[in-house]
Amino acid sequence: MGSEEKWCVVTGGRGFAARHLVEMLIKYNMFSVRIVDLGSSIELEASEEQGTLGEALRSGRAQYVSADLRDKAQVLKAFEGVEVVFHMAAPNSSINNYKLHYSVNVEGAKNVIDSCVEQNVKRLIYTSSASVVFDGINALINTDESMPYASKHNDFYSATKAEGEALVLKANGTNGLLTCSLRPSGIFGPGDRLLVPSLVANARAGKSKFIIGDGNNTYDFTYVENVGHAHVCAERALAAGGVISERAAGQAYFITNMEPIKFWEFVSLILDGLGYERPRIKIPACIVMPIAHMVNWTYKLLGPYGMPVPQFTPSRIRLLSCCRTFNSSKAKDRLFYTPIVSLQEGIQRTIEAYSHLKAEHEPKREGPSKASIYLRGGTAADILLWKDKRKTLIALIVLMAIYYNFIAPECTMITALSKLLMVALIFLFIHGSLPEKIYGYRVEKLSASCFSLSEERSRSIAITLTSFWNSFVRNFKSLSRGNDWVLLLKVAVSLLALSFIGVVSLQTLYKTVVLFAFTGFFIYEKKEREIDSLCQRFQVWTRSKCSVVGKVSTSKE
């Protein structure tokens, strides 16, 4: 086809689906490929270096251009001498940031369209999303392109994708430019950095056993090579001329594997193939949605300090629990698209590509966790870290009984403590008076040593109290010198927390402490590295701010 004279551009060319399209274009010898992305230079993986892409870059059949779509001058330069543009660039869909998505998906799309017109590009194929018609509430069953855009979208990514798509379709025919938009649904396959890694992370954290919703929601997935193939089909249809081009241009198309499957069955096949537990426990979406809103709010608060982007968000819960199937007949009829890899084969290839994430390769923790060390191991750690579920459930039942009998009736702290001690003494008295055997069952007697402190233990407690007092004195001296702003901030926050606790009712305090004890340590053990990293970043930020304040106050003096 004279690929030396024909160039195409793939924007976002280092993205998940775009990498597969680039490889496909090079293998088909359709065009010389110009890869456009944000990175200052292209960094190839080992397989790419030795494969088709590395060879094409060395021979000149492929180029890499660093460009930001939000800068029109950079886009114009990247599109020089180009016949076709595959516009696939988009921010990470899991980051629900309106400003980011609008700047790339809408303003960036405007720059791409304008640059295509000014550089006399002949064809523009836009990568949209099936979510442009999804409102996050109503199910989509065999939905076709007659469905209008959602009046309110599930997230900012989908909303801005819809705006970008509308601009691309409207530009069809401008200065001879032919355009169309592809709406793939549920892209998966080798190279995915979101779906499979998230499933594995949840499985390793013990969360893969849960199904959000009733588990019967059907879904349309698309293997990544089929997405690339659909782009090639669209380009060929637009280039065909005559009636074929007229019917293909200016249209949007749903792209799927044409094999709807229950969402949770798909997840089960992936996890089972990698050696993890299949989901089995169903949780209604209405129960987990408030938790997802809380996670989302926490990310908005702590995101600037380095908190990782959470996967457990309201928009994702809606995606996991709704039916979303689409009709690809229009793509088959006008673009001559049919999947080249079946769903079953795509799943198998995906499992093979992620063999390094199989359960037998799961990294093992060396030594006890920090949460276990803080709890000093033993029974307390077994209960609060849910290692012995029987003991944990017994402890929860006992704590609930204490709450409803002694704290819920709105007793004062002294009254509640007195009642609790009275019940404990009566129980111990009755237990002590029982015979050693009752109807053949042995009654375990409590020894006196259960309530006494050994000399070593007493000394340890005394040393701990003394150390605490000395630490308090040292901090007091440091504060009196007026040098340590970080310490001042810590003390102020601690005192504010103490004053807050002082006005909280005993009932609220009890529930808060119990909830934190049975969830906080458990979550910390599972997310130890992430939480430690976040705390370190926050500490560094706090120190930097306090040092600035200190310098300002010193300069004023």
What amino acid occupies position 381? A
Look up residue 174 and give its DSSP letter: G
Distance of CA 233 to the CA centre of its chain: 32
Task: Measure the CA angle with vertex 345, ends 337 and 130; round to 5°.
Answer: 45
Give the pair of three-digit tokens for residue 320: 């996991």
Q: What DSSP element (H or E) covers 87? A: strand 84-87
User: 250 with 173: CB under 8 angstroms?
Assistant: yes
Burial class, 267, CB count within 10 angstroms (exposed 0-12 / middle 13-18 / buried 19+): buried
Question: CA–CA separation, 442 vs 250, rounded Å?
Answer: 83
Name the one residue in this structure whose structure tokens are 């969830």. Answer: 519
Are the C-beta atoms of residues 153 and 166 closer than 8 Å to each other? no
Q: What single letter denotes the amino acid at residue 244?
A: I
Pairing state of beta strands 218-219 and 178-184?
A: unpaired
3-state secondary structure of 124: strand
Alpha-helical runs (H) found in 95-210:
98-101, 108-118, 156-170, 195-204
Q: Which residues contact 97 (CB under 8 A, 6 or more apart)?
A: 91, 156
For tokens 């929601």, the residue is 217
Do residues 265 and 347 make contact, with C-beta atoms less than 8 angstroms apart?
no
Nearest to 273 by CA among 200, 194, 190: 200
- Chain centroid to Cα 267, Å, comes to 16
What is the token pair recorded at 321? 């629990």
What distance in Å separates the CA atoms of residue 186 and residue 221, rounded to the nearest whole number?
4
Catalytic-labelled residue, pool 72, 77, 152, 161: 161
Nearest to 60 by CA among 18, 31, 89: 31
Q: From CA 445, how far away is CA 49, in angstroms rounded?
A: 72
Q: At what angle do helices 343-353 and 224-239 cross, to 10 degrees?
A: 120
* 283 φ/ψ angles, rounded to the nearest 5 degrees: -125, 125
Query: Which token pair is 153?
Result: 């979208």
Strand bridging mode 437-438 / 178-184: unpaired
Does residue 330 carry a catalytic annotation? Answer: no
Q: Two tokens at 217?
A: 């929601």
* Contact of 75 with 69, CB cutoff 8 Å: yes
Token code pair at residue 267? 């997840």
Residues designated catalytic: 161
